[in-house]
Amino acid sequence: MGDRMGDRLSGKRVLVTSADKYMGPAITELFGNEGAEVFTHAGKLDQPAVDRLVDEVGEINVLIANFAVRAPLSAIQNLTDEQWFLQFDELVHPLMRIVRAVVPQMLARKQGKIVAITSVTALAGFPNGSAYGAARSAQNSFIRSIGLELAPENIQANIIAQGYVRNPTYFPDSLVETEKFKQQVARNVPVKRMAEGWENRRTCTISGIRKQ
């Protein structure tokens, strides 16, 4: 799936955050294969970093807000403030900052796409993962709200709340290939297998990244 697929996104400028984590590598590859000009960022996105990034990239037609951090597996009675704050510092706050910085130029053009890669955990939850689930839920709520806010301006904001998709952060090959994990997937996934990164990245384009 690494071969060039066409030029249907030729002329589109795409920014992918946390490009070295989670779905960043797969999504970056897809947009390149589709002919887009792809800009990537890895690392923290505090406000100064966001300002520098947006200034350096310039026009952004598509923002892929991909953020990831390992979930602290902790019963609620043992959850620390530091564990809780880290999830929001890594997942929620940078999402707001990068969207806030990119939207003005999209409003000026009356055109733009924002896709946040979140997690099915926000919808289903999992025991001992309350901090991670809360942060992912906050991401989803944020995107839903701005989606309603920006839709009249021809700017679409979407969420991909994915589950069992192979990726280097949560489901690396070293985990996916173990017999115990294969049994877990067979119990929980109707098709009895992990989704591959290229399947997610196709969803990413279908969810709203079309030529206007």
DSSP states of 152-192 as a string?
GGTEEEEEE---SB-BTTTB-HHHHTSHHHHHHHHHH-TTS
Instruction: Note the pLDDT of residue 92.
Output: 98
Instruction: Note the pLDDT of residue 161.
Output: 87
Place 174 in a pLDDT band, splitting at 50, 70 and 90.
confident
Instruction: Note the pLDDT of residue 202.
Output: 53
**Best mean pLDDT range from 138-147, 155-164, 178-187:** 138-147
Place 210 in a pLDDT band, splitting at 50, 70 and 90.
very low
Q: How far apart are CA 2 and CA 102, in angstroms?
A: 29
Can you tell me the mean pLDDT for 37-46?
A: 96
Domains of the chain (ranges; CATH) run 13-206 (3.40.50.720)
Instruction: Note the pLDDT of residue 206.
Output: 45
Place 197 in a pLDDT band, splitting at 50, 70 and 90.
low
Q: What is the mean pLDDT of the chain?
A: 87
Say which range, 49-53, 132-136, 178-182, has the weakest mean pLDDT.
178-182
Report which of residues 7 and 24 the model is more confident about: 24
Can you tell me the mean pLDDT for 75-81?
A: 96
